[in-house]
A and B are shown apart, each in its own frame.
Chain A
Amino acid sequence: MSKELNNGIPADSEVIMGILNNSESVLKRLYLAYFPMVLQLIINNNGDADDAKDIYQEAIIVLYNKVKAGDFELSSKLKTYIYSVCRRLWLKRLSQMNRYGGDIKDFQEYLSDEDETERNNDRDIEFDKMGNALKLLGEPCKTIIEDFYIHNRSMQEICESFGYTNADNAKTQKYKCLQRLKKLFFQQK
């Protein structure tokens, strides 16, 4: 792929394909293409650059998950879609912080109807709980769980890197860790 193509704004269909194929370069180009638009929206509506980063990444994740789940239908321009999601997320954030003054300065056209962000929110809460549970779990359990369930490493590898004398010990350890993680996870409200 030529450099020129690499830098430009990716075509909408290219983005969809890129996400489905886990293309790092498409994700990067997508991110670079629309960040200024969202930054402009946020900083001119009572936000700062960090808010813009949060909101934008949240929107990208929404898009990413929808595409991955296969239920993304491109009914408008991708640009408009991203802008709309960010706008909605930012309005929500503003009213949570009681900083919403009743009107928002817009820079793009946007879709006013669909509300896809809600569903994503439940997911986010679960992920937050999981993150907390893993933190509370402590080492070496956390690493064992992450290595096995997230990074798909085999028990044999884990056994070696942690210096367990045999795989059975490691398995017992992993089982105990998992039980504790479940307990921590479900304890949270």
Chain B
Amino acid sequence: MSDNQLIEVIERYLNGEMSQEESARFEMLRNENASVNNLVTEHKDFTNLIKQYGERLELERRLNAIHDEIDVHSLKEELMIHPSWIVQLWRNHHSKISVAASIAIFAVLCTMFFTGYLNNHDNNYVKLKLDVQKIKQKTDNLDSRVNKLNVHVAPKPADNPGNFRGTGFAISSNGYIVTNYHVVRDADDVYVQNDEGKSFKSKVIYTDPQSDIAILSINDTAFRSLGAIPYSFKKSESEIGENVFTLGRPRDGVILGAGFLTASTGFKGDTTQYQVSTPVDFGNSGGPLLDNKGNLIGIIDAKETHIEGAAFAVKSSYLLKAIQEIPADSLQKPLIMNSKNSLTGLNEKQQVKKIRKYVFMVKVYNQ
């Protein structure tokens, strides 16, 4: 029996096409002959695989046919999670948007730079310390001219007036003086000059750049106690409309400026300051601001250049806070604050008379 015929027999056997007798005989052959048995199993498995493969193809064909009926495209549109339009816009155009944004930022920065917006100091806002050098040059010019006219007048040996000037006032009888931080900033030497024109060497013992406050201590042997301070320090805020005045020493002698408290905030809404309508000049920085009852309510600090009579003063509460924060080892003599007010009830002329002795010119020297 050839293989060909054997396979045919096996197929007939597997398909159940044999008669009972024949199949019984074939099973006997299978049992006796292992190679025939193997061939039967092998053939059965292989033809089954072909059959199953066919079924699989058929199933896939059916599924594909069903699939073709589905409108996949519109279904896809529907099921895709669409990010919001802004995300899509970004995904599609992010390079263009980035370039545009960079150019815009650059343009804004350029504009700000060229218009001077980026300069930290505001053009409309000036600190009121006096730059003595400028004036000195002018007076020197005048002097030389006067000398030419008037030869036999010997030039007076000039008292060194200092590089910068401001005003300060006493907070205790033993020589603690308050002025603005910007007056004494970078100072090498600080002198205070009293009403009689005498200068005393002083030392900066505490600064608070944020509130623009500096506290000096006179440590000159020639200094004598000032006597009880006539004004007291107001803890609470003052109201708009209050009559206020300030004393300053931009030059020898004292200058009175009177006005109203016009706003409870300072430049650009700075809550640490008041705005007042008192006329002030360079050199007024650090001067006391008092109300008409003789309470010290602030420290003159700066003015706005393009508004007439708009000056700014640091609120007294920040001064009190600064005094609290002086480190104990900086205080070589006790700082005793006055709480009694001996100005109440006096008229303005009398008040100024009492106060002027406590207002000093602050002279600052640096290289």
Contact = CB atoms under 8 A, between A and B. Distances in A.
Contacts of A149: 47, 50-51, 54
Which applies to chain A's interface (DSSP): helix, strand, loop or mixed?
Answer: helix
A177 B76 CA distance: 46
B50 A145 contact: yes
Interface string B25-48: 000000000000000000000110
B6 to A, nearest CB: 10
Interface stretch (A3-11, A53-61, A72-80): A53-61
Interface string B281-313: 000000000000000000000000000000000
Interface in B91-139: none
B63 interface: yes
A28 B66 contact: yes
B256 interface: no
A139 B89 CA distance: 56
A51 B46 CA distance: 31
Nearest to B7: A175
B93 to A, nearest CB: 23
B80 interface: yes
Interface in B45-67: 46-47, 49-57, 59-60, 62-64, 66-67
Nearest to B70: A35
A44 B78 CA distance: 12
Interface stretch (A90-98, A126-134, A157-165): A126-134
Contacts of A27: 62-63, 66
Nearest to A131: B53
A122 to B, nearest CB: 12
B54 A61 contact: no
Contacts of A32: 66, 69-70
A23 to B, nearest CB: 11
A60 B72 CA distance: 18
B186 interface: no
Interface of A: 24, 27-28, 31-32, 35-36, 39-40, 43-44, 49, 52-53, 57, 60-61, 64, 105, 123, 126-127, 130-131, 134, 145-146, 149-151, 171-172, 175, 178, 181-182, 185
16 contacts: A24-B62, A32-B70, A35-B67, A39-B76, A39-B79, A40-B79, A44-B79, A53-B67, A64-B59, A123-B52, A145-B50, A149-B50, A150-B55, A151-B54, A175-B8, A178-B7
Given A39-B72, A131-B53, 15 more contacts: A27-B63, A31-B63, A32-B69, A43-B79, A44-B80, A64-B59, A126-B49, A126-B53, A134-B53, A145-B50, A149-B54, A150-B54, A151-B54, A178-B7, A185-B46
